[in-house]
Structure 1
């Protein structure tokens, strides 16, 4: 039976739902997000986004999407293959189509994200051309309008809104090195792209930037990326606020930074927050020592160099 990779259509939805409805089994309460977002993906495809399916025997047996994040960066997401189509080269064919699309638009790199516990997904990513890039966790400071850093540990430090100071610190921080210079993309949820000076300045103008400063200069930085409503299993909703990256020099700086983020989130009436931080023993333990909840597992970012592909 011949397989064809083509742009997704609205009438592929039923097939896609059939092979993505139980992707994670009982690991997540919410299940896979693909059945919910697929119609939106198809409708919003355009010059900066392409959703593809693999068709075999008149039905869609695989799906993937690629998005142009900048003039030279692309992001691939949502790779799924039907159980009865595995080991047939479906993932490879869709991935090649996504790489070709990204390269044709000038992308030098394409990245994706794989949960650290998903060994099969990690192996598949390596098999189609991705290499390890970085890893991160989520820190979850509770929104608190009265949050204050530990007076004994963070004396003399304050979080300001100086975007250039925040950018300058970010550039020289070990967080930037560990994260390969990446932070949450401001336009594409769950995607990471290069954190630029313009990104820090835009965040200061449109949202919020934090620079932890004291007598010795700047030693911490963060930026707010987005706010959104998320449905809960109980039928209600929660307001989430995301911070594209958190970087700091030591525990007092972390305490000051997270306290400022907690106050900012409370001002936005947030129920939950998440801050992208490097997956290193220092950063994770600093956050824990500062009393901040941290996600149980890291996430891995993979990257494929497109410059040598023809």
Structure 2
């Protein structure tokens, strides 16, 4: 690390940004286990941190702020390359004992340097809309406002029957791509969808993703008097449901875009049927956060998340960030 990654606290502690090590796990767990207790939610960091460290490589780097050469950990942040030019920052946490010292910015800039060295021209992150502290830390670190989205949450239903024609072959993939290029949803989301490889990350949709989804029977394109909308299953993941070790399968659909309410209804029914067939317990479909998309979804009697999520972005071609 450069000299800019080392500083001393008011109390004299030596703080250094470095790559995370397996031995940091207990210290990270100690200050992250109650991160969102006021929101009634648990933090995933204690569970995933050991895996993060183990899986670090050319396209992923986990950073921590080291206190006095391993005596404690003051913060953590991971950077991931999602494509040749897109980086993602996640898991920003600062130990309450060391807050107010600009450590979030130190970690963010370390990820920016790491990502730019690997060819990234942009870095993004996701922050819950209610997480005011996280939003402030992101802005201070160099991120700027990006886009916002919400989750549609249709219930799995093996008997759901779309009222319009839904196709999913290679031709439907190309039709979906053409639709996406002219869609208001693409404009409102700045072309971003859920990433297929990194869970809970967003990247720019590529034509090849739709073709891959078609080949795996994960694409649902409404082609009825022309192409009217599409969605696709991006990935499934297991998540805890309670403190007793229960889990469920969550199906995440990368984005949904449509022309009208009837098309939205057909897409959500196709998703409901697909989720049931795949043994998925609950569903999330990314939609833009605006009156049109949320009210269209509501008009189909499909559930919607209570609050939006925010995506922020940093231009890594801006030397002022370094």
- Which residues in structure 2 correspond to 1:21-100 (within 5 Å)? 21-29=33-41, 31-57=42-68, 58-100=71-113
> Does the CA-based 8 Å contact 1:19-1:83 persist in structure 2?
yes
Q: For 1:229 and 1:82, how far apart are their aligned partners in 2?
A: 28
> Does the CA-based 8 Å contact 2:20-2:62 persist in structure 1?
yes
Deviates more, 1:118-127 or 1:179-188: 118-127
> Residue 299 of structure 1: which of 292, 305, 309 is its match?
309
TM-score scaled to structure 2, two decimals?
0.91
Aligned to 1:106: 119
Q: For 1:292 and 1:264, how far apart are their aligned partners in 2?
A: 15
| Superposed displacement of residue 189, structure 1 | 0.3
Q: For 1:301 and 1:80, how far apart are their aligned partners in 2?
A: 17
**1:229 and 2:207 aligned:** no
| Superposed displacement of residue 207, structure 1 | 4.5
User: In the comparison of the two structures, how many residue pairs are matched?
Assistant: 302
Q: Which runs of 5+ in 2 are unaligned?
A: 1-12
> Does the CA-based 8 Å contact 1:108-1:307 persist in structure 2?
yes
Secondary structure at the residue paired with 1:145? coil
Q: For 2:251 and 2:237, how far apart are their aligned partners in 1?
A: 7
Secondary structure at the residue paired with 2:197? coil
Aligned to 1:281: 291
TM-score scaled to structure 1, two decimals?
0.95
- Which residues in structure 2 correspond to 1:213-292 (within 5 Å)? 213-215=223-225, 217-233=226-242, 234-292=244-302
Q: Which runs of 5+ in 1 are unaligned?
A: none
Secondary structure at the residue paired with 1:294? coil
Q: What is the root-mean-square deviation of aligned Cα atoms in Å?
A: 1.1
Secondary structure at the residue paired with 1:212? strand
> Does the CA-based 8 Å contact 2:106-2:141 persist in structure 1?
no
After superposition, give the CA deviation of every residue in 1:33-74 in whole Å (9 maximum; x if it has no partner). Answer: 000000000000000000000012331110000000000000
Moved over 4 A (4+): none
> Residue 29 of structure 2: which of 17, 23, 28 is its match?
17
> Does the CA-based 8 Å contact 2:297-2:303 persist in structure 1?
yes
Aligned to 2:161: 148
Aligned to 1:184: 194
> Does the CA-based 8 Å contact 2:194-2:286 persist in structure 1?
yes
**1:168 and 2:178 aligned:** yes
